[in-house]
């Protein structure tokens, strides 16, 4: 019996190819059963996320099973044979190593992301419930989950924010702790504002006020983020109560100046204020950042911090790989 893997991911296939082989999460177990019947494999687990579709199989005749699976997939998707060039294949320890890299987030588009761990667990659970796993895949997946957990606890592969939105949310957490008591104002309804506001909302921000020169657009974004639209000439009044301001208007000049904030400091009782300026040209006068209770971050600073986060994660790859190899070498598993 041999463990093998056949799949494609964001590194080997563009999205228009990946989407043809994607399997909805509700059908992973059913798909595993179909693959087992059509390919002749003894055990099957199907993993499908936005970045990958992979089939982990156990069979005494791996070459024949892989060929049957590949032909079956191309046939089911009515795809040309040349699409097969997007597939990769891994055998035995190499397949387990690949699975460990996937659950550890080393094979993800956003290095070290944690979501994939849950997605692989869900895929394995679906296969388990469909009865398509046995000794080889059960032990391989259990081992991969244990190694994945170790990688995430021993190394720093998942530490730090790696996108502008995440950096902003992390900083908000460092300033305010729980965001349940924090109110947010979006000044200018751009795409980055929407993403950052949604990140803050998902972290528990109490309420969101959206203001924009076009009130219709403000209403639209407010509806999307579960917030409240405010007329653009009223934003200074809202500034008195909010804790976080995300500015991304298209104005060619500063929208928020020192005097605007000085006017409301007393009313705010000098509470901390986190200003996120993601507009180019900038919306917030840098002079505002010199006010004691104000923490001002512009797009360049946030992007630089995100890049530093990505760099830190990249520097952890070697340590993670070493840990995975050492753990696999120390394992005695069937099919490896």
Question: Of 51 and 316, which CB lies nearer to another protein in the complex structure?
Answer: 316
3-class DSSP assignment, residue 192: helix
Figure out which of the listed residues 33, 121, 213, 268 binds another protein, where binding follows CB under 8 A.
268
- The reply on whether position 286 binds another protein by CB under 8 A is no
Q: Which is nearer to another protein, 142 or 304 (CB)?
A: 304
Strands (E) located in 158-316:
183-187, 207-212, 228-231, 244-247, 273-277, 294-298
Separation CA 52–CA 108 (nearest Å): 9
103, 116 contact by CB (below 8 A): yes
Residues in the interface with another protein (CB under 8 A) total 21
Distance CA 159, CA 144 (A): 20
Is residue 50 flagged as an active site residue?
A: yes
Partner residues linked to 295 by β-bridges? 274
The yes or no reply on residue 229 touching another protein (CB under 8 A) is no
Q: Considering only residues 204, 231, 270, 325, which one is a binding residue for another protein as defined by CB under 8 A?
A: 270
Residues 33, 132 contacting (CB under 8 angstroms): yes
Shortest distance, CB of residue 132 to another protein, whole angstroms? 42
Three-point CA angle 233, 234, 238, nearest 5°: 145
* Between 40 and 272, CB nearer to another protein: 272
What tokens were used for 318? 């070697």
Contact yes or no for 246/197 (Cβ under 8 A): yes
We find the least distance from the C-beta atom of residue 293 to another protein, in angstroms, to be 4
Out of 176, 209, 235, 254, the residue judged to bind another protein by CB under 8 A: 176
Contact map string, positions 238 to 267, toward another protein, x by CB under 8 A: ----------------------------x-
- 124 part of the interface to another protein, by CB under 8 A: no
Please give the Cα distance from 243 to 249 (Å, whole number).
19
CB closer to another protein out of 270 and 325? 270
Residues 128-157 that bind another protein (CB under 8 A): 156
Q: Most distant CA pair in the chain: distance in Å?
A: 77
Is residue 334 a contact residue for another protein (CB under 8 A)?
no
Site of interaction with another protein (CB under 8 A): 156, 171, 173-177, 266, 268-272, 289, 292-293, 295, 297, 301, 305, 308
Q: Which residues belong to the active site? A: 50
């Amino acid at each position: 019996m041999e463990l093998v893997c056949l799949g494609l991911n964001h590194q080997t296939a563009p999205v228009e190819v990946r989407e043809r082989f994607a399997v909805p999460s509700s059908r992973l177990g059913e798909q595993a059963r179909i693959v087992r019947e059509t390919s002749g494999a003894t055990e099957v687990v199907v993993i499908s996320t936005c970045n990958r579709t992979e089939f982990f199989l156990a069979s005494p005749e791996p070459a024949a099973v892989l060929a049957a699976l590949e032909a079956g997939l191309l046939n089911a998707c009515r795809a040309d044979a040349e699409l097969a060039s997007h597939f990769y294949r891994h055998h035995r320890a190499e397949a387990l190593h690949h699975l460990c890299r996937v659950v550890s987030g080393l094979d993800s588009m956003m290095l070290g992301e944690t979501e994939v761990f849950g997605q692989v667990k869900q895929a394995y659970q679906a296969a388990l419930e469909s009865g398509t796993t046995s000794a080889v895949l059960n032990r391989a997946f259990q081992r991969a989950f244990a190694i994945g957990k170790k990688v995430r606890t021993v190394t720093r592969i998942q530490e730090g924010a790696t996108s502008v939105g995440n950096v902003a949310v992390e900083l908000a957490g460092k300033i305010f702790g729980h965001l349940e008591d924090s109110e947010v104002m979006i000044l200018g309804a751009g795409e980055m504002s929407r993403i950052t506001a949604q990140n803050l909302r998902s972290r528990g921000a109490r309420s969101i006020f959206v203001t924009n020169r076009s009130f219709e657009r403000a209403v639209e974004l407010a509806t999307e983020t579960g917030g409240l639209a405010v007329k653009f000439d009223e934003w200074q009044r809202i500034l008195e109560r909010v804790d976080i301001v995300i500015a991304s208007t298209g104005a060619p000049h500063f929208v928020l100046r020192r005097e605007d904030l000085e006017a409301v400091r007393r009313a705010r009782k000098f509470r901390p204020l986190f200003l996120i300026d993601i507009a180019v040209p900038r919306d917030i006068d840098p002079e505002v950042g010199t006010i004691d209770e104000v923490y001002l971050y512009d797009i360049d600073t946030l992007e630089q911090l995100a890049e530093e986060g990505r760099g830190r994660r990249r520097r952890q790859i070697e340590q993670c790989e070493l840990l995975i190899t050492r753990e696999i070498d120390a394992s005695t598993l069937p099919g490896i």
